[in-house]
């Protein structure tokens, strides 16, 4: 091996590393665009069954079916925004006029009631308050500041929403657009296999995401009924947020439960803890647990068995691995990502014993 060959090899390796670095840097810089495309892809998968229904059953042409589907999706989004914005504005006005000293006094009051209920003496309470300095160091003034910054977030959200809807429209209208982009990087002799894999992935993930929508809807209805029965303020907003948090596997329900517990207890500041706050909180949390039982024993098994066709233990391990590698985002994308990988492996490595075992239900 000559020195020229070695030098050429080193230069080639350096060029490859530089190229990889530049590609990663480019992807990092356009991460917002990639996020828009990913969300638009999910939206197109949600809208795909509607488009197929309109085309096959009602004999709409492709463009008209896509337009009707997009109008339906926009209507749903507009309905959610119309539901939340007035409540957020009203809550923001209330918070902007809020007496922070009174709020702090109410929080101290409920703290004392909780500790007294569990058998602590008043001296222990006072000593605990002084030593922890929890209320002297707690600054409630962050609430109006947060609301001011929230306006800027809404502006960015508007731009992102328009981008997602625009991209989703063309994903639905030109359903082969994404597929043709991938085929550029695939050898011609394997194009048919990839096309078959992509069709299977689209069918499975469409059922999966539609199932998730129904999962959220079922929890939303249960939580809303429970919160309305016990007169919790902003019941619809709380129910929707807690149902939406359920999309985060395992961790989401815990966060949702803590959120519902906190908002239920603080919705009755000034009331007696043992006769009003505690019983109402217990009943609300029983309703939350009922919702989780319905979700765990009905909604989730139905979604996984009829969409991604994976064993619950498989799903559990995949979600845990996704969470360890990529955090909360990894837990959310673990199931659809794993499903896509399984379909591709079945198409290209169908004879492999491990692949055959994992994909026998596909």
Token pair listed for 130: 């002084």
Residue 105 lies in a domain: yes
- Phi, psi angles (nearest 5°) of residue 100: -65, -35
Q: What is the pLDDT of residue 146?
A: 47
Higher pLDDT among residues 107 and 296, named by residue = 296
Find the mean pLDDT for residues 45-64.
Answer: 85
Residue 96 has pLDDT above 60, yes or no: no
Higher pLDDT among residues 248 and 71, named by residue = 71
Q: What is the pLDDT of residue 87?
A: 62
Residue 135 lies in a domain: yes
Residue 46 lies in a domain: yes
C-beta of residue 337 within 8 angstroms of C-beta of residue 322: yes
pLDDT tens profile 114-152: 666 666 555 655 565 555 554 455 454 544 554 455 455
Q: What is the pLDDT of residue 139?
A: 52
Residue 244 has pLDDT above 70, yes or no: yes
DSSP state of 349: S
Query: What's the predicted TM-score (pTM) here?
Result: 0.66
Residue 160 has pLDDT above 60, yes or no: yes
Higher pLDDT among residues 99 and 345, named by residue = 345
Q: What is the pLDDT of residue 222?
A: 92
The total number of structural domains that make up the chain: 1
Q: Please, what is the average pLDDT of the chain?
A: 76
Question: Long-range contacts made by residues 129-137, C-beta under 8 angstroms, separation at least 24?
Answer: 135/104, 135/107, 135/108, 135/111
Residue 204 lies in a domain: no
- Spatial separation of the C-alpha atoms in residues 294 and 222, rounded to whole Å: 9
Short-list 229, 231, 230, 259, CA closest to 243: 259
DSSP state of 296: I
Q: Distances in Å between the alpha carbon of 39 and those of 43, 89, 165?
A: 6, 27, 9
Find the mean pLDDT for residues 190-206.
Answer: 79
Residue 90 lies in a domain: yes
Residue 54 lies in a domain: yes
Which of the four pLDDT bands, split at 50, 70 and 90, describes residue 23? confident
- Spatial separation of the C-alpha atoms in residues 355 and 342, rounded to whole Å: 8
Q: Residue 143: which domain range?
A: 29-175
């Amino acid at each position: 091996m000559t020195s020229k060959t070695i030098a050429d090899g080193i230069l080639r390796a350096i060029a490859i590393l530089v190229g990889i670095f530049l590609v990663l840097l480019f992807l990092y810089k356009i991460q917002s665009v990639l996020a828009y495309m990913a969300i638009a892809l999910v939206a197109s998968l949600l809208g795909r069954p509607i488009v197929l229904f309109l085309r096959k059953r009602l004999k709409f042409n492709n463009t008209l079916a896509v337009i009707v589907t997009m109008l339906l999706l926009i209507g749903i989004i507009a309905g959610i925004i119309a539901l939340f914005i007035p409540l957020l504005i009203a809550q923001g006005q209330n918070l902007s006029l809020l007496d922070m000293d009174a709020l702090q006094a109410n929080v101290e009051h409920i703290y004392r009631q909780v500790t007294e209920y569990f058998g602590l003496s008043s001296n222990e309470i006072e000593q605990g308050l002084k030593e922890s300095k929890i209320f002297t160091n707690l600054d409630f003034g962050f609430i109006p500041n947060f609301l001011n910054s929230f306006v800027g977030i809404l502006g960015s959200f508007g731009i992102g929403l328009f981008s997602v809807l625009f991209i989703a429209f063309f994903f639905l209208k030109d359903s082969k657009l994404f597929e043709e982009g991938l085929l550029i990087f695939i050898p011609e002799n394997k194009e048919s296999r990839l096309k078959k894999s992509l069709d299977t992935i689209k069918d499975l993930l469409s059922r999966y995401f539609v199932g998730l929508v129904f999962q959220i809807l079922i929890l939303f209805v249960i939580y809303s009924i429970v919160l309305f029965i016990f007169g919790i303020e902003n019941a619809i907003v709380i129910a929707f947020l807690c149902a939406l948090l359920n999309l985060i596997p395992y961790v989401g329900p815990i966060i949702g439960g803590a959120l519902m517990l906190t908002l239920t207890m603080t919705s009755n500041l000034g009331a007696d803890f043992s006769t009003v706050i505690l019983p109402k909180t217990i009943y609300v949390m029983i309703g939350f647990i009922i919702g989780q039982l319905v979700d765990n024993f009905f909604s989730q098994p139905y979604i996984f068995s009829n969409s991604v066709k994976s064993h619950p233990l498989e799903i559990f391990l995949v979600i845990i691995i996704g969470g360890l590698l990529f955090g909360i985002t990894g837990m959310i994308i673990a199931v659809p990502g794993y499903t896509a990988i399984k379909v591709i492996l079945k198409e290209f490595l169908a004879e492999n014993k491990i692949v055959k075992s994992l994909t026998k239900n596909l």
